[in-house]
Amino acid sequence: MSALSGVRVLELEAKGPAPFGVMLLADLGAEVIRVDRIRNSPSEKPAAGAIERGRRSIAIDLKQEAGLAVLLELVAVADVLVEGYRPGIAERLGFGPDACLDRNPRLVYARMTGWGQDGPLAQRAGHDINYLALAGALYPLGSADRPPAPPLNLVGDFGGGGPFLAIGILAALFERERSGRGQVVDAAMVDGVASMLTAFHDLRSAGAWTDAREDNLVDGGAPWYRCYATADGGFIAVGALEPSFHRQFLERLGLDPEQWPMYDRARWPAQRDKLAALFATKPRSHWEQLFEESDACVSPVLTLEESTSAPQLVARDVFVRRNGGFVPQPAPRLSRTRPEVAAEPPRPGQHTDEVLELLGVSGARREELLSLGVVA
């Protein structure tokens, strides 16, 4: 039995952080039914990826009154509903929180947006880079002499978005065991990103962090916490953050720790230059071997492809093969109810008959729904 066995999640089709948050729940064993929109041809929806694994799919035309009725029937037997629309759209379509909680008072109604359900930007479009920008997370990233560098869409969609959505859902489910009542989870990426910056606000308040890029301990400013290019075009990541690790780092390089004070910021630029010149003299493999048996906190910077064969990740079975590629295993790991990579992602409407059967919809009503294009 999986950790979330018995939890039924109803997912309204969306992109980015909401599917990722639902993937985390599916990996932990939740039963997920995704409500897809009806398409004229399969080519209207890109091929599903691993992020959409572990679902069954029913395709419903939610603009039809009969389609809304089917959705609300699913709401009645669900524990969680997840939607990622702009604020007000679900209400306008007839399945906002009031309508759904009226049908099922124990429902956890989870909403995933970028800006949140209120505030001056609530109705505005945005993407990961915009949420990072306003939350204060984008400005510190990148080189001092260049514009800020977006960290893929890891920090917003897959950091401050999906995981915070899943945490909110799990907290609401836990609270429901005491109160017997559901509630609304308002998960906004801008909120999640701001929460992730808590430690940096602490550092800034203490005078230990500046707003300049490459001027701080962990933003590439410190010579012992940054990446360096190697002779073969590769990169080495140095994270010798503590004094004992810093000493090992220097000693492996044949440098005198007494001549390399860690916290003399005035000397950081010259130290960075010297280390950059040193690392550029040998290929990445040389530095990997040099630091292999040490606590100097030095690692090769691997590509996505290279990471799948890294010994540590191979030893922990971090990746599994799927459809000719690699898929990361679920995380975190549980000792008794260890999650596994769930079933392949479904095609829109692939399980419509199964889901209708779950609701007891069969015979004449099923045929009518299909003939009218309410479901597909």
Active-site residue set = 127, 157
CB contact burial 188-201 (16+ within 10 A = b; e otherwise): bbbbbbbebbeebe
The answer to whether the beta carbons of residues 270 and 222 sit under 8 Å apart is no
Cβ count within 10 A of residue 15: 10
Query: Is the C-alpha dihedral spanning 146, 148, 150, 154 positive or negative?
Result: positive
Contacts of residue 216, defined as CB under 8 A and 6 or more positions apart, other chains included, come to 140, 203, 209, 210, 222
CA distances from 203 to 207, 217, 272 (A): 6, 10, 23
Q: How many CA atoms lie within 13 A of 86 on its CB side?
A: 8
Contacts of residue 11, defined as CB under 8 A and 6 or more positions apart, other chains included, come to 18, 19, 22, 32, 33, 34, 35, 55, 81, 82
- The identity of residue 311, as a single letter, is P
Instruction: Give the CA angle between residues 352, 348, 131 to the nearest 5°.
Output: 130
- The identity of residue 28, as a single letter, is L
Q: Tell me which H or E stretch contains 305.
A: helix 304-307
Using CB atoms within 10 Å of the CB of residue 202, give its burial: 0 to 12 exposed, 13 to 18 middle, 19+ buried: exposed
Q: Tell me which H or E stretch contains 149.
A: none
- Provide DSSP, 229-269: E-TTS-EEEEE--SHHHHHHHHHHTT--GGGS-SS-GGGHH
CA distances from 371 to 27, 39, 192 (A): 35, 15, 44
Closest CA to 144 of 222, 80, 220, 218: 220
